[in-house]
Structure 1
Amino acid sequence: MPELVPPTTLVMDSFLEAMDEFVAEGTTDTQTAGWIERFGDSWQTPAGFEAFVAEIRAQEVDEIAIPAHWVLTSTRWWIEGDTYLGRIALRQRLNEKLADVGGHIGYDVRPSARRCGHASGMLRAVLPLAHSFGIDPALVTCDDDNVASIRVIEGAGGVLEDVRGIKRRYWVPTA
């Protein structure tokens, strides 16, 4: 049964396979795409992967570890055994951009693991963490044409507030 865990070096091989899937798919404009661009040349070695994991974990608690215009972000990986299935990011507060189109929570599932309920499982599993940060409800957004994410968000109790450009904005209860 999959579980939500902080980033870990224990799934390095599966994680790198998943990143290859995202590259083949042409993933853009996600946290995962940013990781590929920033760390793709260095995480192929155990030491490089360990440094990547340490940096991602630091972004949860260390304002200095986050890039400009970012907020503290609690990243969790959805894994089953030693298999990386996806990631979910909980932004601990909203800045102007996140309040408009990014939201508190963003997620993606590796292409080979989609349509198995993993996004729904991740979202449900991260809601108590959001609540522990005093977030209730959480803003979750998705593209207006992303039927799968619409179902995931609405399945978690998301209530549509509005559509801004191509982004649907939902408020999801965390308690």
Structure 2
Amino acid sequence: MSQIDLRKPTTDLHQSFMQSTAEWNGEEQDGASMFFADKYGWDLADHTDFERWVKLLNDLAKPEFTPAPGFVSQSTLWVVENGKYLGAVSLRHDLGTGYLAEVGGHIGYGIRPSARRRGLAKLALAGSLEQARSLGLPKVLITCNDSNIGSARTIESCGGVLESIKPQSEVGPIFGSPEDVRRYWITLD
């Protein structure tokens, strides 16, 4: 029987995470916060660097931890099925940077290509919304590319209300977005 969980990042899933990375064909895994590894020059294929990255992801959720300048505190959960990494969701605790307030939003998530169309993105987003409620956030901003119909449907199924669609001409030159960006808000009760 299949067991799907949301759990904190762990080094136990190194091999499975790297298999997922290969499925993304060189694209960054949405929600996985791999940009931190890039920032520190860590090679996630190296077990020691992977341990450093996992520790940082878990530290970023701690109230006493101070993120590097330009970054915000965040909580990361991994979607895991029977010991296999399937995806990630990250909840930024605030929108402290211009990028997050315009394009990134509070929550980013991604499911590895071989595990899509199973409702896992909705599971991940719902889990992250529970975290946001526990942090006392009154509402969260979630964005997706305008062409990403699956993500738009996931956000809407979790209560997302479309605020606007930012044209690529506004967000692209500043944030490097390749297309228009849909901005949704979810009010938390």
When normalised by structure 1's length, the TM-score is 0.87
For 2:11 and 2:187, the matched residues in 1 are separated by 32
- 1:144 alignment counterpart: 146
- 2:177 alignment counterpart: none
**Quick one: structure 1 residues 110 and 158, their matched pair in 2 at CA, closer, same or farther if it must change by over 3 Å?**
same
Q: CA offset at residue 30 of structure 1?
A: 4.4
For 2:108 and 2:81, the matched residues in 1 are separated by 20
Structure 1 segment 68-79 matched on structure 2, within 5 A: 68-79=69-80
- 1:54 alignment counterpart: 55
Asked if structure 2 preserves the Cα contact closer than 8 Å seen for 1:78 and 1:122, the reply is yes
Can you give the 5+ residue segments of structure 2 that lack an aligned partner in the other structure?
168-179
Q: What SS class does the counterpart of residue 69 from structure 1 fall into? A: coil
Q: What SS class does the counterpart of residue 75 from structure 2 fall into? A: strand
Structure 1 segment 1-175 matched on structure 2, within 5 A: 1-22=3-24, 24=25, 26-28=26-28, 30=30, 32=32, 34=35, 37=38, 42-61=43-62, 62-63=65-66, 66-95=67-96, 96-165=98-167, 166-175=180-189
Q: CA offset at residue 14 of structure 1?
A: 0.7
For 2:143 and 2:156, the matched residues in 1 are separated by 11
For 2:114 and 2:163, the matched residues in 1 are separated by 32
Alignment RMSD (CA, Å): 2.1
Asked if structure 1 preserves the Cα contact closer than 8 Å seen for 2:165 and 2:182, the reply is yes
**Quick one: structure 1 residues 21 and 106, their matched pair in 2 at CA, closer, same or farther if it must change by over 3 Å?**
same
- 2:176 alignment counterpart: none
Aligned residues: 171
For 1:99 and 1:58, the matched residues in 2 are separated by 23
Q: CA offset at residue 148 of structure 1?
A: 0.5
Q: CA offset at residue 67 of structure 1?
A: 3.5
When normalised by structure 2's length, the TM-score is 0.81
Asked if structure 1 preserves the Cα contact closer than 8 Å seen for 2:72 and 2:92, the reply is yes
Q: Percent identity?
A: 37
- 2:174 alignment counterpart: none
Can you give the 5+ residue segments of structure 1 that lack an aligned partner in the other structure?
none
Residue by residue over 1:36-57, the C-alpha shift from the partner in whole angstroms, topping out at 9 and shown as x without a partner, is 6457863334333222211211
